[in-house]
Chain A
Amino acid sequence: MHYDTIAAISTPMGEGAIAIVRLSGDEAIQLTSRIFRSPSGKNLADEPSHTIHYGHLIEPATDEVIEEVMVSIMRAPKTFTREDVVEVNCHGGLVAVKRVLQLILKEGARLAEPGEFTKRAFLNGRIDLSQAEAVMDLIRAKTDRAMNVALNQMDGKLSKLIGELRQALLETLAQVEVNIDYPEYDDVEEMTIPLMIEKCTWVSEEIDKLLRTSSQGKILREGLSTVIIGRPNVGKSSLLNSLVQENKAIVTDIAGTTRDIIEEYVNVRGVPLRLVDTAGIRETEDIVERIGVERSRQVLKEADLILLVLNSSEELTEEDNRLFEATEGMDRIIVANKTDLPRKLDLSEVKGIDENAKIVATSLMKEEGVDELEEAISKLFFEGSLEAGDLTYVSNARHIALLHKAHATIQDAIAAAEANVPVDMIQIDVTRTWEILGEIVGDTVQESLINQLFSQFCLGK
């Protein structure tokens, strides 16, 4: 069976020494060879299977060196997926590995869906029957989670802008279609080539703008979505401040680019944390009440890591219990704060609620225990019990890849228009752009063009 070529980061995110981007599919080796330069000038496509090569990845358009890498090539069928597989080993760290991935996606690979490598391995007969159910569950679970994220982003500025671009394209398309399907219909302005160029150029520029912001903010744009919760006055603000101050917030306010919740980004021992809903913490200590608020639920639902703060100078309260319940089954670290005061909190009671609870004792006022907390976070992350927050990460890398693709396609349309290709041919690339943008917001239905047609124009013959 033959499928298109997919790629994804196959090591957990964070500042490990090495990260691996894996490709699988017919084009994997060819594609990599186009962006790989070895000092001896060898061509990967000519190298034998199961060999490893040192060199650099370069941006083919500019010859700019992107990254120093080791590349393993493995030809089908003796590979994990039974397809041609390439593994690019690059320096760890989010920035480096993301640049590598994006280069590969730009070169024509498609970002793998959750579980897709495993799925291919299965479809190509690599995995036995007993694992099939697990694969299906994986696809469903990941998709449901991805949909949570997608839903969130639907209200965001990004999807609004994408929606505007798509609407502009759709109107252009509808006009082209009307000209074709109703050639004698006199009331529609003929979609001329200059008009087409004008519309396409506008869309292209807007996509370009989006891409520029995405590369500016791409330093740790994604990370573990982390939520600090706790009763009033247990020290959430102090925890936030000490994390932020110690580690220097990288982005302080990206309100508007995703949603209206303030987020702060910190890098804790190589683990990128996105502290979500920090505004809420600063505004009000009354998070218990706010648990009932829909927005907070959403925040919790999306979180990769929960820091649940308790007051160790008081006994567990009903409110604390509710917080335990609300975060049950999630990755969480219990921060028993205020160790500077006499201890009244019964840790065995906490263990009773969650026998695997990771508890860190801190006195944020005295700046004690913060190291231990950071240690606990990084341990949780690198030892892999956390799911590496691949969700937000994937969806964003996906968006960037799709935006690149949309940009390339609309550029094709403009180039064709400038070469005086008939409008109904240019329309092929415009439609494709519209579809690609639709993939970002999860909507590509052919029917909407036809609906646009009939709502925009009064059609007869």
Chain B
Amino acid sequence: MPQFEAGTFDCIVIGAGHAGVEAALASAKMGASTLALTMNLDMIAFMPCNPSLGGPAKGIVVREIDALGGAMAKVIDKTHIQMRMLNTGKGPAVRALRAQADKVLYQQEMKRTLEEQENLTLHQGIVEELIVEQDEVKGVITQIGAIYRAKTVIITTGTFLRGEIIIGDLKYSSGPNNQMPSIGLADSLRELGLETVRFKTGTPPRVNGKTIDYSKTEIQPGDDVPRAFSYETTEFIMDQLPCWLTYTTPATHEIINENLHLSPMYSGMIQGKGPRYCPSIEDKIVRFADKSRHQIFLEPEGRNTQEYYVQGLSTSLPEHVQRKLLESVPGLEKAEMMRAGYAIEYDAIVPTQLWPTLETKKIRNLYTAGQINGTSGYEEAAAQGIMAGINAASRVLGKEEVVLSRSDAYIGVLIDDLVTKGTSEPYRLLTSRAEYRLLLRHDNADLRLTDIGYHLGMISEERHEKFLVKKQMIEEEIERLRQATIKPSEEVQEIIRESEGTELKEPMKAADLLKRPEMKYSQIVHIVPPAEDKPEEVAEQVEIFIKYEGYIQKSMQQVERMKKMENKKIPDDIDYHAISGLAKEAKANLSEVRPLSIAQASRISGVNPADISILLVYIEQGKIAKISG
């Protein structure tokens, strides 16, 4: 096929899913001329699975993306059909927002965001091949022979690499939702020497809402207070659609057990490793045989459609069995199946081949982000996308690379886990993966990351100003409550009694009284009012900080200790095999991951504390050798 020069860019992003859009937007916002190439312009930021965003850990990631200047939060704020704050009965560290999305509106809004972005060219095309010279990427070639040259390339092709859909004994080459798979690019990557693994994921059937008998289900409404992911959102959608809850029945379980031989999961047809946190219904019933029922959530896919997502019924059983399954679920007896569930197998890149900037170690200036790196979930993809975009643009613009630490953000936890430990199944963020969960809260994402976003040029002056004012207000109010004394007056004792607390025996600092579990900020300021009332988000920060100060300090101390280790850098040219004291397994794993710091090295599996000690001594020795030599 004749080839032709089609343009030159600072950065090319292949794919416009949740990772791709954030990558392209970040790169363009930072000032790099950016080309976003997608197979299908109508599928930008498509949600092939669950029509929802957020939830524990993931919801906090969406906030973090927003604090860095990304798009996901703003787009969902404009296009959701329902929002709920989860874990409100628990501590502040684990609260998380979740939204049900209008899939179509979400796509349209995201597409418009890309179209309006300066420095960003959006184009439909299928990349077949990467141009690589001397281990450095130089551009891409599309199916029609168009050559695009670029200083950096970010691949965000999700589950498209050698994608195969499986339903029953039917298996065909396909991307998600019957889109075209990416075969040429997959071959190209393998030729370049990038190691891949085969993963599997799946999706449930969709039904027509008109045919659901809602009377047999429980309603799950959204919160009736205004909620938003983005710190900049000022308009709130209050007109919400409910979800509906129903359950599997003994009949459902019987159908599955009778037809297990038809399931590609059990017939051996699927070899890819599936995620444990999102099991198919077959898996749930086989592995947890003693459970008499499983929850099924019916989630509307949008305002302008009757299509419902049957959350909890992910399956790759043949279509006729899926129909029977639906019939066995209360409320769905007469439901019309609009699309069948399916399993999809795809190639993912072994993520330990990446630096923490998401650049591949093998090929300079080539980055990968999203599901291609072995993760699952729109939020995880977007998080990697924005970081890859930032780092690719930084490379082009000669700026310093940006790596968030495990104590900065869930995004830092996610990427560090991927590049340091790798993953043996599609990776999902969980709050339990974060060791500094108390610091990585939903409410303080802006305090953690806005400055970083601002310095990258992704946060407007106006927003940054507002942020600084908020920050100052919080600090001043905390200080004020630390100074203010509350005397045991009758009014004060009355307030304490109302909350079933112990009465004051002597005067007490306001902050100390607030530390009592039963006391609230609103009560304290009633006793010692500030000069002017604080906005709710300031009050919230003050209350959390003072109340949980002991725990927060403990976490901060841990972070400090870890930081010392993060600051001990490991020289890039180190030869682990030449260090005599290291254990064999440590040598092999260190050589593969090539950690940048001692802290990262200590998180690699098979590297024990003795190896770390030896490494420290060796590096220190190298420094001395360099000075004296």
Which residues does A use to contact B, with CB under 8 Å?
1-2, 4, 113, 119, 122-123, 125, 128-129, 132-133, 135-137, 139-140, 143, 173, 177, 179-187, 419-425, 428, 445-447, 449-450, 453-454, 458-461
Contact = CB atoms under 8 A, between A and B. Distances in A.
B613 A177 contact: no
A123 B620 contact: yes
Interface stretch (B27-35, B101-109, B144-152, B286-294): B286-294
A424 B279 contact: no
Contact of A458 (B56, B288, B613): B288
Given A2-B564, A428-B555, A422 B90 contact: yes
B614 interface: yes
A461 B279 contact: no
A119 B311 contact: no
Residue of B278, B551, B561 ringed by the most chain A CB atoms within 10 A: B551
B581 A140 contact: yes
Contacts of A2: 564
Interface string B61-85: 0000000000000000000000000
A266 B621 CA distance: 45
A140 B614 contact: yes
Contacts of B564: 1-2
Interface stretch (B170-178, B234-242, B425-433): B425-433
14 contacts: A122-B617, A128-B624, A136-B617, A139-B613, A180-B432, A181-B432, A187-B295, A423-B91, A428-B437, A428-B438, A450-B430, A453-B430, A453-B432, A461-B312
A133 B551 CA distance: 41
A459 B55 CA distance: 14
A116 to B, nearest CB: 8
Contact of A129 (B278, B432, B628): B628
A454 B616 CA distance: 36
A122 B620 contact: yes
B432 A450 contact: yes
A119 B613 contact: yes
Given A428-B551, A458-B288, A459-B277, A136 B581 contact: yes
B276 interface: yes
B430 A461 contact: no
Contact of B276 (A4, A182, A454): A454
Contact of B431 (A177, A185, A419): A177
A191 to B, nearest CB: 10
A136 B295 contact: no
B213 interface: no
B362 to A, nearest CB: 27
B74 to A, nearest CB: 25
Contacts of A135: 617
Given A129-B624, A458-B288, A180 B613 contact: no
Interface string B591-628: 00000000000000100011001101110110011001
Nearest to B518: A420
Contact of B284 (A419, A445, A458): A458
A421 B277 CA distance: 29
Interface in B263-295: 276-279, 284, 287-288, 291, 294-295
A458 B291 contact: yes
B297 interface: yes
Given A181-B57, A424-B437, A450-B430, 7 more contacts: A132-B624, A177-B432, A180-B431, A187-B295, A458-B284, A458-B294, A460-B311
B625 A136 contact: no
B86 interface: yes
Contacts of A185: 295
A120 B621 CA distance: 13
A457 to B, nearest CB: 8
A449 B437 CA distance: 15
A137 B580 CA distance: 9
A328 to B, nearest CB: 24
Contacts of A173: 432
Contact of B618 (A136, A445, A461): A136
B517 A420 contact: yes
Residue of B279, B430, B628 ringed by the most chain A CB atoms within 10 A: B430
Given A180-B87, A423-B91, A132 B287 contact: no
Contacts of B92: 422
B91 A461 contact: no
Contacts of A460: 278-279, 284, 294-295, 311-312
Interface residues of B, number: 54
B295 A143 contact: no
Nearest to A419: B517
A137 B94 CA distance: 46
Interface in B573-600: 580-581
A360 to B, nearest CB: 38
A459 B311 CA distance: 12
Contacts of A143: 610
Interface in B376-431: 421, 430-431
Contacts of A428: 437-438, 551, 554-555
Contacts of B276: 454, 459
B448 to A, nearest CB: 19
Contacts of A183: 56, 86-87
Contact of B90 (A122, A128, A180, A453): A180
Contact of A136 (B93, B297, B555, B614): B614
A423 B90 contact: yes
Contacts of A458: 279, 284, 287-288, 291, 294
A454 B277 contact: yes
Contacts of A447: 421
A424 B91 contact: yes
Nearest to B603: A446
Given A139-B610, A177-B432, A129 B625 contact: yes
B431 to A, nearest CB: 5
A143 B607 CA distance: 13
A184 B613 CA distance: 45
Nearest to B554: A428
Given A119-B613, A428-B438, A421 B517 contact: yes
B202 to A, nearest CB: 12
A139 B614 contact: yes
A133 B625 CA distance: 13
A117 B568 CA distance: 20
A397 B93 CA distance: 37
Contacts of B437: 424, 428
B435 interface: yes
A461 B613 contact: no
B548 interface: yes
Contacts of B432: 173, 177, 180-181, 446, 449-450, 453
B624 to A, nearest CB: 5
A459 B555 contact: no
B288 A461 contact: no
A182 B624 CA distance: 52
B580 A136 contact: yes
A420 B516 CA distance: 9
A177 B437 CA distance: 12
Contacts of B311: 460-461
A461 B297 contact: yes
Contacts of A450: 430, 432-433
B279 A459 contact: yes
Nearest to A182: B56
B264 to A, nearest CB: 20
B627 to A, nearest CB: 10
Contact of B433 (A187, A420, A424, A446): A446
Nearest to B277: A459
A425 B613 contact: no
Contact of B430 (A129, A181, A423): A181
Nearest to A137: B581
Given A183-B87, A424-B94, A461 B433 contact: no
A137 B431 CA distance: 40
